[in-house]
Structure 1
C-alpha cells in the first residue's frame, strides 16, 4: 500500500473508525479502572491521567479530521457521544464528592426543610439520615448552593433514588439537551454543524458530567437557552421574555452567567431588561 493511499484511508472512514476506537479505549479504560480499583484517584491516579490523555489525543484527532473533511457524520457524532457517556455512567463518582452534597440537599428540600437551616451533621437531622449524608463534604456547614441548584437536586431525588447514579443519569440527559441547544446556536451564528463535535466529544465535559455528575451543566444549559432566544433572528414576543428568565435561573445556580449580561443585555428590549 502506497503512502498516499494510506493517508487517503486515514482521511476517510478508516481514520474515523480508528479515532473512535481511541475514545472507546480511553473511556472503557477509565470505567475498568474505576470498577477494579474502586476509584479514579489514589493509588490509580497515574492510570486515570493516562486514559484521560488518550481521550484528549483522540479528541484532537477527531477535531482535525472534522475540520479537514468539513463535516462529521451526524449518527457517528451522537452515537459516539452517547456511548462514551454510558461507559462512564457505569462508574461511581470518585474524582469529586460533590454529588453527595447534591443528594443530601435535594433530600432535605423534598422533606420540606431548607438546606440553609442546618449543617449536615446537625442532630436535628438524624432522623432524616441517608447514606449520602455521611459521604457529603463540608459537614460542618449548611448548603453553599444557590436556590436554582436546589430545585435541580430536589427534582433528582424526587424522580429517582438518592444515589449517585441518579444524579449522573439526569445530568447526562441535561448534557445531551444542552448539546441540542448548542447545535441551534451554531446555526444561528452561521457556524458549520460539525463543530458540535467540540462539545459532544470533549473529554473534560464527558468525564465531569458522566462520571462526576457536576452541577455546572445545569447552569450552562440555562445560560445557553437565554442566548439562543436572544440571538435567534425571529422569536415571538412571549418567547423572548424567556431569555431573561433563563439567564436569571442560570445566575441563581451559580453567579458565573452574570458575565454574559453585557453580551445579552443589548439584545433585549425594555420588557426583557425590566423582567431580569
Structure 2
C-alpha cells in the first residue's frame, strides 16, 4: 500500500528519472543512448523525442553534458517504459514503478526461500520489504537497485539449490542493471571450486556480451568507461573515511580538495580489489553463509572508503544483512536519513556534524556486532583466565 501511494507522484529527491525517460525515448526512436550527448541532440531541430526540452532541462546540466552511464538492461526497461508510457512522462514513471514494485515482490518471494535454505526464519525478509528507506528511495525516488537485487537474490537462491548453471545468466542480469555485483565474482571461486567457477564465469560473460551487442560500437567502450570513471574521481557525498582524509589533508598538508578527490578516487578501486582478493583466499567461502558475509564485508568496506555514498546504496547492504547475522545495515538505513539535510540547501552543502553522527551510530553498532558475533570478549577472558 505504501508503495502504491507513490505510483502517480513525481520523484522530488532525485532528477535521474528525466534521464531514464530521455534514454528510453532515444532507444524507442532507434538512437543509441551511449553515443550521443543530450546537449548535442537537443540542438537538432528534427529531434523526434516526446517532451525533449522538458526532459533535457529536468535532468540537469551534469547529466546533459555526459554520456549515459546506465547498463544495457536498465536501458531496455527505460525503452519499454517510454513505449508503454505513450510519450507521457507520468505514464513512463508509472511503468517504471510497476517494474520496481514487482521486483520487490520477487525479492520477498526468493528472499524468504533463500533464508529458509540457509536455516534462518524467513520472516527476516520483511526487514527489507517493510523498510522505509527501501520504499522511499526505490518506489518513491525511482532507483533501480531493487530490480538489480531481484536478480541477485534469485541467483543466490538458485546457487543455494546447487543450480549454478541457471544462476549464472540471472546473476549476469543483475550486473547488466548495476555494475556492483561484478565486485563479488572472485568470492565465488572457493564456493564452486575451480572447474565450476570457470563454467559460472563463462556463462556470466556470454550473457553480458549478448546483451551488450545491440548497443556496441567503436565509441561505446570509451564513452561508457569515461562516464563511469567520473563517479570514482569527481564526486563526493555522505563519505566517512574520505571526509576524514580530506580534513587532515587540507588542514595539515594544504591539499586542494578537488585534487584530492581525483587521486583518492583512483586509489579506491585498487584497495577494494585487494580486499576482494584477501576475502577470496583467506575466508572459507565454500559455506553459503560465509560467502554472503564476505560479500557484506566487501561491499561495506567499499562504501566506508568511497567518496560518494548515496542513501539508496545502503539498500544492497540491507538485503545482505537479512541473510547474515549482521544488523548494522538496518541502523545505517535509519541514520542515512541525516544525509538528506544536503537536499535542503540550494547548493547541496553537507553538514559534517550530521554525517559524523550517522557514521558514529553505524560504526558503533557494527563494533558491537563484531564483538558479539565473534565472542571476542569471551575469548579474551578465556585466554587470560579472567572471571
The TM tier, using the shorter chain, reads: 0.5 to 0.7
Please give the secondary structure, in 2, of the residue aligned with 1:113.
coil
Is 1:272 equivalent to 2:190 in the alignment? no
Long gaps (5+) in structure 1: 1-82
Partner of 1:127: 48
User: What is the match of residue 136 of structure 1?
Assistant: 59
Tell me the alpha carbon deviations over residues 127-182 of structure 1, each in whole angstroms, 9 at most, x when there is no partner: 32424343223212221212222122122223334522332222112222222121
User: What TM-score comes out, normalization by structure 2 length?
Assistant: 0.45
Distance 2:16 2:77 in 1: 14
1:252 aligns with 2:173: no
Q: Is the 8 A contact 1:93 1:212 kept in 2?
A: yes
Kept after mapping to 2: 8 A contact 1:178/1:221: yes
Say if 1:175 and 1:209, in contact at 8 Å, map to a contact too.
no
> Would the aligned equivalents of 2:71 and 2:176 in 1 still touch at CA under 8 Å?
yes
- Aligned partner of residue 69 in structure 2, secondary structure: coil
Residue deviations 1:61-82, cap 9 Å, x none?
xxxxxxxxxxxxxxxxxxxxxx
Name the CA shift for 1:260/1:128 in 2 (closer, same or farther; >3 Å). Answer: same
SS of the counterpart of 2:64?
coil
Query: How much has 1:245 moved relative to structure 2?
Result: 1.2
- The Cα of 1:109 is off from its aligned counterpart by 1.2
Residues 1:106 and 2:35 are matched in the alignment: no
1:115–1:140 CA distance, 2 compared to 1 (3 A): same
What is the root-mean-square deviation of aligned Cα atoms in Å?
2.1
2:104 match: 175
Distance in 2 (alpha carbons) for counterparts of 1:265 and 1:107: 40
Q: Does 1:205 align with 2:130?
A: no
Gaps of 5+ in 2: 205-387
Q: 1:155 aligns with which of 58, 80, 83?
A: 80
Could you say which residue in structure 1 is the equivalent of 2:160? 231
> By how many angstroms is 1:108 displaced?
1.0
* Residue aligned with 1:128, SS: coil
TM-score, with structure 1 as normaliser: 0.62
Cα displacement string for residues 185-222 of structure 1 (whole angstroms, at most 9, x for unaligned residues)? 11111110211110111110000112111111121112
Select 2:36's aligned residue among 107, 118, 124.
118
What are the within-5 Å matches in structure 2 for residues 25-174 of structure 1? 83-121=1-39, 122=41, 123-124=43-44, 126-130=47-51, 131-137=54-60, 138-161=63-86, 162-163=88-89, 164-174=93-103
